[in-house]
Amino acid sequence: MPVSRLDAGIVQKGDFQLTSRWWINRGVSSLLVLVAALVVNFAIPRLMPGSPVDIFSGGVKLTREARQAIVERFGLDESVWEQFYKYVVNAVQGDFGVSFFYYPQPVIEVIMEALPWTLLILVTAMIFQVVIGYWLGAMAAWKAGSKTDAILQAVSLFVFSTPLFWVAMVLLYVFGYQLGWFPLGGAYTIGEIYESAWDQALDVIKHATLPVISLIIAQYATYQLILRNSMVAVLKEQYILTAEAKGLSKGRVKHRHAARNALLPMVTFLSLSFAISLGGSVFVETVFSYPGVGKLIFDSVMSRDYPMLQGCFFLFSLVVIAVNIFVDLIYRFLDPRIAY
């Protein structure tokens, strides 16, 4: 039977297809990263001071027998290697055990309840970060050296150097406490009876607005600065002068010819930005008491909830790996000349 180009792992230039070798290499490298993440995720909680038994007991003084029973119940009396072996085997199966703090709820069940809230604010914030960073970066590059460019860069550098938790606290104080425009915390109004699904959606949006704005302010400036600097170099290329000489509109030259060819560095930062936003969600969700994975991690650190921390960190590792693969695919779409 004839062998197709796809079966043979051959890709023609311009085809949005990837070689089988790329998928194998990507799979192996992702697996190695995941193994390293498993080791780090297991080690970090156990390096923290304090005992989960004390947190689990709620500060009540326990007898030696009761304390030993809790230790045995959660397998804390086993050696580190035995705990690590069980952790890896169970993690591969998607079982991270029972939470210390949310006992007797399974870890994966608690995470799945919190994950949609985190994805809501992260994905929404990233869309606005990219759009705002793109438009402001393209504007600054097109007017490079002007007052507009200087103002945009100054504002971006100021925003870039501002701590995320400080931005979140200022927004909460001004728009939540002083003006009362937005709720002070939570993801929805507890006990509220909604007349329609639209009313419920508006309530959720209202609670998510300040956390999303905090994340947008924290990251949009980086996208703007990267695109601006990359596009300034592209605007000096010969094909830009040729496009202008052909009489193409300024908007077409700016966006179709200059900005698109300057996007690759910005896309490179996309995966790193998502990882930073995941870490930033811990601060944002804690400030706004938002019931996402970030708030879950903070509570788990305070309660020495090893299984919950391991489950959250493992989930973050999977998400970052998936986003990196997605960014590689975007690379291939933006520039078909890139061959994997």
For 245-275, the three-class secondary structure string (H helix, E strand, C coil) is HCCCCHHHHHHHHHHHHCHHHHHHHHHHHHH
Q: Is the pLDDT at 210 greater than 70, yes or no?
A: yes
Place of tokens 């391991």: 310
pTM exceeding 0.75: no
Full set of structural domains in the chain with CATH: 20-47+78-334 (1.10.3720.10)
Mean pLDDT of the region 149-158: 84
**Angstrom distance (rounded) from CA 37 to CA 33:** 6
- Of 74, 103, 229, which is closest to residue 157 (Cα–Cα)? 229
- Are the C-beta atoms of residues 243 and 234 closer than 8 Å to each other? no
**Angstrom distance (rounded) from CA 142 to CA 252:** 12
**Angstrom distance (rounded) from CA 196 to CA 216:** 30
Please report which confidence band the pLDDT of residue 294 belongs to, taking 50, 70 and 90 as the band edges. Answer: confident
Q: Is the pLDDT at 282 greater than 70, yes or no?
A: yes
- Phi, psi (deg, nearest 5) at residue 129: -60, -50
Q: Mention every residue, 6+ apart, whose C-beta is less than 8 A from residue 13.
A: 336, 337, 339
> Which residues pair with residue 204 across a beta bridge?
none
- Phi, psi (deg, nearest 5) at residue 98: -105, 140
Place of tokens 């780090």: 40
- Of 235, 271, 229, which is closest to residue 253 (Cα–Cα)? 235
- pLDDT tens profile 31-84: 888 888 888 877 776 676 666 666 555 555 666 666 666 666 666 666 778 778
**Angstrom distance (rounded) from CA 120 to CA 164:** 18
